[in-house]
Structure formats: C-alpha cells, structure tokens
Structure 1
Amino acid sequence: MTADITTMLWDTDLLYRSPDAPELEADLAKGASEAKAFRDLYLGKVSTLDAAGLRDAFRRYEALSELLVKPQLYAHLLFAADSDSDANKMLSQRTAEFGNLMGRELLFFDLEIMGIPDERFAEIAADECLAGYGHYLQIVRKFRPHTLTEREEQLLKLKNLTGAEAFSRLFDELSASFRFRMELEGEEREFTGEELLGLLHHPDASVRERAFATFLKRHEEEAIALGAVFNTVALDHGQELELRSYRHPMEPTNLGNEIPEEVVNRLMEVSEANYGLARDYFRLKARLMGMPKLKNTDIYAPVGETDRHYTFDEARDLVLDAYGAFQPRFRDICAAFFAERRIDVLPRPGKSGGAFCMGMTPSLSPYVLLNFTGNLRDVATIAHELGHGLHFVLAQKQSMLNYHAPLPLAETASVFGEMLLTRSLLEKESDPSVKIALLCAKIEDIIATTFRQNVLTRFEERMHNERKEGLLTATRLCDLWWEENGKLYGDAVDMIEPYRWGWSYISHFIHARFYCYSYTFAELLVLSLYGKYLEEGDAFIPTYVGILESGGSLSPADTVKPAGIDLADPHFWQKGYDFLAELIEELKGLIGER
C-alpha cells in the first residue's frame, strides 16, 4: 500500500469539525458553566469533606478537567500543523486564555487539599475509598511549602498570559516562520528547518556543514528576539523561585518528577564521568569514515547503507513489525494511528519543527506529529513517538488525575520502542557492513539521548543561575553553550563556529524547565529494562505492560519496582553506560570481522 498525501495529514475532525464548530463553542460554554458550578459547590468546604465526599469531588473534578482540556488540545494540534493560519492563531490564543481563566477558577481545589490539617489528612488519605487517588494527594501536598494564597496564585496565573506564556508563543511562531535558502545539487531552493536538520544525515560532509550552518545563521539573525525570549523565560522562572522559596532552579522540576535531588545529581555526575565513552566512539567513527577528526556536523553522518532513503510506507512497516514482534497487541495499537489518521507526517512551512506525541485524556486518543524526510533517524523517530502513543493508550485504564506518567518515565516507552526497532533491523541483516551502520546509528542515538541531554541540562542550569545576576546577552548564551558542549566533545570533535547558536532552537528550554534530564533518565532506565527483557524473554512483557498501564498512579520509584529496579542504587546509572560500552565493543568486533 502506498500512502497518499491525505493519509499523511492528521484528521482533527475526530475532535471537532472546524475551529468554528458549534460543538466546540458548546464545550467551551459548558466547561465555563460547570467550572463555576464546581467552585460554588466546593469552595471553602474541601477540608470538611469525609473520604467518600472527597472521592466524589475528585470524580467531578476529573470529568470537568476532560471537558475543559479538549478544546485546548484541539487548538494546539491545529496551531502545530499550521501556525501561519490566522484562524488557528486566534483559536490557539482564545483557548489559552480560556484555559488560564478556568485554571484560576479551580485553583482553590488543590489549595484547600493542601490546607487540610496533617492529622485529618493522614486519616482521610488512608481510607480505602480514596485508594485510587492516594498518589495524587501526596503529590499535591508536596508543593504545600511553596504555594501562595489563592488570590496570589490567581494573579500569577493571570500575568502568565502576558509574560512567560506570551514569550513562549512568540518563540513558537517565530521558529515556525523561518524560511531557509541553500544550494543543493546545483540548485538553490527553499527548505524548512526540519529539512535542513535532516541533511545532517546526508552522505556529503560539505552538504551537512552548509545545511547546519544555514539553519543556525538564520537563528543568529533573530538574536534580539531570541535573546529576549530566553532572558524573559529565565527571569520569570527566577522570580517565581524567589516567591515560592525554592532553593535552586531545578527544585520545582525535581519535586514534580518525584526524584530526590541527590538522585538527579548522581545521574548527571555519572553521565559526565562517562563522557569519555562518547569521545571514544567519535574517534572510532572518524577512522571508520576515513576522516582525521569529526566535526559536530559529522556525528550523524551515514555509515554505509544508512544513507538510503526510506519511503514512509517502508518506515511505517518496519516500526510496526518491530512492535509486533515484541507484542502483537502493541502493533495493533500503533497501527491505529495510521488507520485513524492520527499522525501528521511531512514537513511544510508553518508546521512546528521536531516531533511529538500529544497524549489527550483517558477517553480521547493521542495524536503524533512528525517531520519525516526519509532517513534512518526519521524511522527511529516514528518508533519513538509511537512509543509515547502506546504509553498513552495503555494508561487510559487510569482516571484523569492519574493519566499522565511523571516526566522521568514519560520517555520510557518511546526509548524502549527505538531499541526494539534497532534490534529488529539488526536481526534481519546478515551483511556486516549494514550491521555496522545500524549499530552506529543506535550508539549515536544513545549518546544523543544521554550525554547530549546532560549537556543541555547543564547549559539550562547555568543560564538560570547566571540570569539571577543580570541580563544575559546573546553572546554570553553562546559562550555558555560552547563551553558545555566542549566538555562533551573534548578534543575528539571540532564544533563549527555557527554552532555557538545551537541553544537558540531548543524548545524544551522555553516550554518545560529542565525537561531534558528526563531523556537521560529514561534512556538509562530503558537499557536496564531491555537487559531484563533479554534475560527473561516473554516473561518480562507483563511487567513492562504494567509499568506503562500505571500512568501517573505511582511514583517513578514504585512504578519500576516490580521490574526489580532500585532508583536509589548508587550504581544503577553506571549499568546503563556499561551497556553502551558493550555496544561500542560489539561495533569494534563487527569492524574487525569486516
């Protein structure tokens, strides 16, 4: 079957027929009405509820949350697919303001849960009828020392619309508006950003360097706007830290992730102690490619057969086969994204860069956005995003408050899916040269998902710490970026000069404080889980399914405990890097055989 252009566009009519659909207007009106009714019913009374009453309030709150979020998710999908559309811009802004208003209306609920006296809270939380909400209750209470009065919280949320959220929106619109011109194969043409980044997998080193330089220099041209965005986001975060009495920039993220500070610090320190593994691989790849030394534009260069182009149909089938070989039900869940057109495939002007899977609610199916250009990395991206989709679908057995997995586990299924794809491709190949190419691609992916994300986290940490002392010029941001990347590359890789602007297109810095260490966490966790799968075979599958089905109903530590994993084990993170070292040795063996 050959995919046509229609099947490569997602079908948002499954949510609403159009931005002005009567059903959408009705949901907005109903949501506002029910939010007011919920506030009238429970305001000032939450602390007086018994366990059964609080359970009923949770159920109403969850139903209301699903109703309120649906129009916002729909608007986000439209805006991500085409931010050039005025209708999409207007709906996106309208629903953002609606969500902000509804959030202010409902702030009281969590605040009153925090206000329940400790002794009474312990009694209520222990009641069996609230068993399904025990984890949520504990999470809410953890933020009690950092929470302000309802009026103060409302004002902060209100000002977000014209503060950090406005600058976040500016970043998205500005990035999506970029157009790039570059000569390729004797012809100058226009590219999207994703198409240029896709050329980092081109077999010609000069094309790779020109593509990345073109991409980065376009961002440099917007130094004033991008510098203002990053400074404002950092300043806003710093002011909130002060208002809420947090000790350091990463503390609220760690608290929300339920990961102790010492565990995060150990994760990052162990990662840095293993940077030498990446440098060893970069030197090995340079020899493999007959180059004296890699530039950072050569890191993802194809080796042998991986310069081939995959059609989308080929990529889809490879990914579905990999999931199906592990668990036939997984294939069916992933195949539904294509059959139901919940996946948007090709890059185009106005479309958001990168890729994401949007988990909706326990009653709404997730959507996937790609920017597919046909290289092996894009095939892996399909496996990655469908892993997210699989996770969201399996977690739909949870209720709304327990639906979304905590950030450290949010990347588990996606990274595991990439591992399944790699091993599936390796098992199908008998040619050592092709196996070398595939193994290189997997090692590079692990390096990108662990070491590079650690570099990003260190840069973000330094950015927030230095912003407390005053404005960060774009030049200073470039310096911080260069220094942190230099710690990883050492003398093994030369960075091209335009790479000083590599910080300027990383959307995680804008949308989610310190998200990036979740990738490192997930990759090392998955390497451990995959090792257990290799040891136990099919007996491991129910345990893995249980991890994904748990959604956000448990802490990360409790979620992975059934797999025999102890996140507090000081040696845990090193085991993942030992696995990477084994892959590099396997690669050396294949090179020797060839």
Structure 2
Amino acid sequence: MTTDITSMTWDTTRLYPGPAAAELDADFATGRTRAEAFRTQYQGKIAGLDDDALLEALSAYETLEEFLVKPQLYAYLLFAADSGDDTVKRLSQRAAEFGNRMSRELLFFDLELIHLPDDRYAALTSDTRFAGYRHYLASLRKFRPHTLAEREESLLKQKNLTGVEAFNRLFDELSASFTFRFQVDGEERDYTGEELLGLLHHPSPDVRERAFGVFLERHAEHGIVYAAVFNNVALDHGQDMELRSYRYPMEPTNLGNELSAEVVERLMSVSEANYPLAQEYFRLKARLLGLPQLKNTDIYAPVGETGRTYSFDEAKELVLAAYGDFSTEFRDIAATFFRERHIDVLPRPGKGGGAFCMGMTPHLSPYVLLNFTGNLRDVATLAHELGHGIHFVLAQQQTMVNYHAPLPLAETASVFGEMLLTRYLLARENDPSVKIALLCAKIEDIIATTFRQNVLTRFEERLHRERATGLLTAGRIGDIWWEENGKLYGDAVTMIEPYRWGWSYISHFIHARFYCYSYTFAELLVLSLYRNYLVQGESFIPCYRTILASGGSLSPADTVRPAGVDLTAPDFWQSGYDVLRELIEELKRLV
C-alpha cells in the first residue's frame, strides 16, 4: 500500500483554516488588545505585588504568551512549506511584525522580574508555591548584568525588524528560491537544493562531486548577498555584545544554556583531540570504496547497500518499529504525527531546506518538516525529528515558560531516536555487507553530529571575532571555513574547491547563534545515556522519560543528574568518543 500524496503534506487547518482566515485576523486583533490590557494592569507594579497577586500575574503571562505565539507559529509553518507564495509571504511578514510589537509590549514583565530586589527574589525562589517558576526566574536573573532599560530594549527590538531580522529573511527567501538543472543517468531535470544534497549518497563518485559542486557554485553566484548577510549578522551580534557588556561572542549562548565557558571549551577541545579518530574512519572508508583517498563528497557514499532506497512507507514502519521496541508509549506518540498529518515529507521548490520539528505550545501539537529523498540518512532523519516530537509531547505537562528544553538538551531525544533505529536495524540483519553499511551510516552520523558541529562552532567563533576588526570578504570567510574543516579532515580527505562556499547555506549561523555545539553536547550525552540503557534495560526508561518530560523546568545539569550523569566530570566527554571508537572497532572486525 502506497502513501497518497495528500498525506505527505502536513495539515495546518487544526490551527487556522487558511492564511486568509477570519479567525487569524481575529487572533491578531485580540492578541494586541490582551497584551495592551496586561501592560496596563501590571506595568511598574511587579515589585509591589504580594505573592498571590504575583502568582496570578505569572499565570496570566503564560496564558497570554501561548495565545500570542499561535498565529506566529502558523505563519512560520506556512512559510517553511512554501516561501514563494505571495499570500504566505505577506502573512509571514505580518506575523513577524506582530511578534515584534507584542514582545515590546510585554518586555516590561521580564525586566521587572529581573530587577526584583535581592531579598524578594530569594524569598520567592525558596517558596514552594513558586516552585514551578523557580527555574524561569533564575533563567531571567542571570541576564541581569546584561539587560538595558526598557526604552532601550524596546528600540533594539523594533529596529531588528529592518535590521538583522530582515537579513535573516533575505537569506531564507534566496536559499529557498534556488532550483538546479542537473543530469543523472542520462536524465536532465530541475532539482531542489535538498535533492542535490541527497545525491551525496549516490553510488557514483562523479554524480556526488558534480551535484555538490553545482549546489555550491549556485551559492557562489550570489556571494555578494551571502557575504553581506553573514557580515551583518556578525556585526549586529558584536554591537549587541558591546551594548550589553558581554566579554566574548559565545557568552550570551553559554549563559542561556546554563553552561560555563570552561565546560563548553572542554567539550570542544576534547572533540578536537579526537579528530584523528574521524580521520582513521575516513581512511577505512576509502578502502571500503576502493579509493586511494576520500574527497569530502565521498564521506556519505553508500557502502554495501549500493543503490538501496526506501519508500516513505518503509521508513515510517522502520522508525515506528524501532521506537516500539524501546517503548510502546514512544511508538504511539510518533504514530500520531502520521495519523494527524503533522509531517510535510517531500522536497519541492520554495520549501525550506533541511528538516525540523516545530515545538508549538503545551496545548498545540508539534509539526515536522522533512525533505525526504529515500536514502538511509533520510530514514534516520525521520527518527531524529520524531524524537524531537516525542520530546515536545512529553514536555506538554509543563507550563509555557518551562515547555522548551534548554538548548544543550534540545537534541537529546532526537539523537537517541537515531541510535534506537540503528540498533534495531543491526539486530535484524544477518548479511555482513548490510551490517557494514549500517555501521558506516551510524559512524558517519556521529562524526557529523560531533566533529562536524565542532568545526561549525569554531568557524562561527572565528567569524565573529574577525568581523569585530572589520568587514570580511567572501574570500576571507571561505578561508576561515577551509582552515577549520582542514583540521578535521587532515590528510585523510581532500576537499573539492567549491567547498570554500560550504558556509553559505548553513542556516544555524543566521538564525541561532552558536547553536551547533548543542549537537555535539547532545550526541555525547546520548551515547552515555544509551550505554546506561544497554546496562539497565527497561528500568532505564522511566528515568529517561522523566528527563524528556521535564522540558525546561530545570538546568541541563539538574535534568540529567538522576540518570547518573555529571556534566562536569573530567572524562565525561571522552567517554562518548570511546563509544565511537568501539563502533569503529566493530566495523573493522566486520571488514
């Protein structure tokens, strides 16, 4: 039975009937009225409220935030699915302006909480009635030294619409507009960017290299725009650092992640010390492919299962079965995404690249966007994004301010889901050549999620530091990119020349400053958690479920402590790479 095309697109009518719906207009209008009323009721009065009144204000704020974000999330989903539609473009811009205005309207609330007198703050955080807001208040409080007056904060938010946010939007629209004329197996047609990147899994070295080259060269043709966007984003961040007295580019991210600079630097330096482990694998893969040396277009080349593709139905059943082997509850949650059509599956012109799971609110179900082309990596991506979805659903027991997990834990369930899929496939496979293919895919995934993300973070860090001294040309940005990737590849991998533009299409650099090290953090954490699962069996599941259900109600360290994980332990990060070494040794035995 084949999935029909309608079920391959998501159904957003549970949110609103359409982009021109009267309900949408009504919510925009009602949202403005309710935000203005909240401001009138509470502005300038937070410090003077008694405990009962403050609890009431916090609850009202959460309810209002959840109401205001719904039309914005809806507009984001429509834009991600089709950025070329004029009606959707207008709605997306309207939602962005609405969100900006509402954040300025309610800015006072966080600021007044941040500046509560020390004795009042201490009393609140020790009061059991405020237990559900303890972490939220602490999360705000740590930004106290870097917060400006309300008027200044409001002006900065307002100008972002025509500043850095406008450049972000330009990046998205330009990247989504590309189509690529390309020939494979004698057939020439137009490809989306995601379809071209999918050809990095093609069995032919020539096809892989040509596809990636065509993709990167199109970005190079628009190098003036991409260089301007990256320069603007870095300059804006630098000015924000200066205004808020931050000492180094990653400090705001580390502060938000509740991780010290020392912990993050240890994570990254341990990763760099293990780059030779990746290079050992790259040399082994070259042998498997019968090549003297890999090019960076060969890293994801199929091994053993040459030419194997999966229908979306096959991918769905494999992923659901893998989750079902772990927990029937997890399988049932994942199945809901298919049943309720909360997944948009196929690539198409105008659709955003990559994949994501959009966590909505405690009362709205999450949505998943894919660009499924049928290779094994795409099956793993489905498991990954549904892991996010399970995480968001379990966290719906939290209230709005505690719903979203802190960034270092945001990738935990997704990466764990990929591990479940790999072990499910390996356990049911007897053909050594297929096992080799599966192990290669998993090892490459770990390398991409740890070492590659470390490279991306080091590149981003250098980009921001160098931009502080002056404008960066596209050539200079390419040089930084080339140097940081070269540290990972060493003499084991040759980079193709167009890869100097490999930085230009990575949206994390534009939308989420220094997000990439969260992938490294999550992968190494998951390897530790998965090892615990193998030892403890089913008794591990309730503890893991509690980690996911906690959402953002605790710090990362406090969230994982019940699982016996100490993020400050000197050898913690190395233990994750030791698991990778074990997988490479397992692969060697099979080879």
The worse-fitting range, judged by mean Cα deviation, of 299-308 and 55-64 is 299-308
- C-alpha contact 1:306 1:438 (8 A) present in aligned 2: no
Deviations 1:109-168 (A, max 9, x none): 011011111112101221111110000000000000000000000000000000110000
SS at match of 1:305: coil
Amino acid at match of 1:347: P
Give matches, 1:288-299, under 5 Å. Answer: 288-299=288-299
Could you list the structure 1 runs, at least 4 aligned residues long, displaced by more than 2 angstroms after superposition: none
Deviations 1:164-208 (A, max 9, x none): 100000000000001111121113211000000000000000000
Match of 1:154 in 2: 154
CA deviation after TM superposition for structure 1 residue 306, in Å: 5.4
Summarize the alignment of residues 85-100 of structure 1 with structure 2, pairs less than 5 Å apart.
Answer: 85-100=85-100
Map of 2:61 onto structure 1? 61
1:36-185 equivalent positions in 2, closer than 5 A: 36-185=36-185
Matched AA of 2:397: K
Taking the aligned partners of 1:475 and 1:51, their CA distance within structure 2 comes to 58
Long gaps (5+) in structure 2: none
Q: Residue 249 of structure 1 corresponds to which residue in structure 2?
A: 249
Partner of 2:576: 576
Alignment correspondent of 1:587 = 587
Q: 1:171–1:229: 8 Å Cα contact kept in structure 2?
A: yes
**What TM-score do the two structures reach when normalised by structure 1?**
0.99
Q: What is aligned with 1:481? A: 481
The aligned residue for residue 550 of structure 2 is 550
1:135 maps to amino acid = H
> TM-score scaled to structure 2, two decimals?
1.00
Residues 209-224 of structure 1 aligned to structure 2 (within 5 Å): 209-224=209-224
CA distance in 2, matches of 1:49, 1:130: 14
Question: Structure 2: how far apart are the matches of 1:491 and 1:455?
Answer: 16
Are the aligned partners of 2:396 and 2:403 in contact in 1 as well (CA < 8 Å)? yes
Q: Secondary structure at the match of 2:305?
A: helix
SS at match of 2:504: helix
Matched residues, number: 591
1:351 and 2:355 aligned: no
CA offsets per residue over residues 205-225 of structure 1, 9 Å max, x none? 000000000000000000001
Residues 205 and 414 of structure 1, relative CA distance in 2, 3 Å threshold: same
Contact 1:343 1:369 in 2 (8 A): yes
Partner residue of 1:441? 441
1:372 maps to what in 2? 372
SS of residue matched to 2:503: helix
Deviation string 1:79-112 (CA, Å, 9 cap, x unpaired) is 0000010000000000100000000000000110
**1:281 shift after superposition:** 0.2
1:23 is displaced (CA, Å) by: 1.1
Letter in 2 for 1:484: E
- Could you tell me how far apart the structure 1 residues matched to 2:516 and 2:272 are? 15
Q: In the alignment, is residue 203 of structure 1 matched against residue 203 of structure 2?
A: yes
Question: 2:398 touches 2:551 (CA, 8 Å); kept in 1?
Answer: yes
Aligned to 2:18: 18
Question: Are the counterparts in 1 of residues 202 and 307 from structure 2 also a CA contact under 8 Å?
Answer: yes
Structure 2 distance, partners of 1:476, 1:53, is 56
What is the alpha-carbon distance in structure 2 between the residues aligned to residue 213 and residue 459 of structure 1?
21
**Residue identity opposite 1:295 in structure 2:** K
Shift of 1:26: 1.2
Counterpart of 1:5?
A: 5
Question: Corresponding residue for 1:234?
Answer: 234
Contact 1:51–1:125 (8 Å) recurs in 2: no
**1:514 corresponds to:** 514
Partner of 2:537: 537
Q: 1:497 corresponds to which residue?
A: 497
Partner SS state of residue 304, structure 1? coil
Is 1:336 aligned to 2:336, yes or no?
A: yes
Paired amino acid for 1:37: A
**Separation in structure 2 between the aligned mates of residue 54 and residue 530 of structure 1, nearest angstrom:** 42
Shift of 1:25: 1.1
Contact 1:306–1:376 under 8 Å retained in 2: no
Q: Output the CA distance in 1 between the equivalents of 2:202 and 2:412.
A: 29
Counterpart AA for 2:22: P
- Given that 2:203 and 2:306 are in contact with CA atoms closer than 8 Å, whether structure 1 keeps it comes out as no
Tell which deviates more after alignment, 84-93 or 117-126: 117-126
**Pairing 1:272–2:253 present:** no
Q: Aligned equivalents of 2:234 and 2:302: distance in 1? A: 37
Q: Distance in 2 between matches of 1:99 and 1:509?
A: 22
Q: Deviations over 1:254-285 (max 9, x none)?
A: 00000111000000000000000000000001
Do structure 1's residue 393 and structure 2's residue 393 form an aligned pair?
A: yes
Are the counterparts in 1 of residues 220 and 501 from structure 2 also a CA contact under 8 Å?
yes
Which range moves more in the overlay, 354-363 or 13-22? Answer: 13-22
Quote the residue 2:414 is aligned against.
414
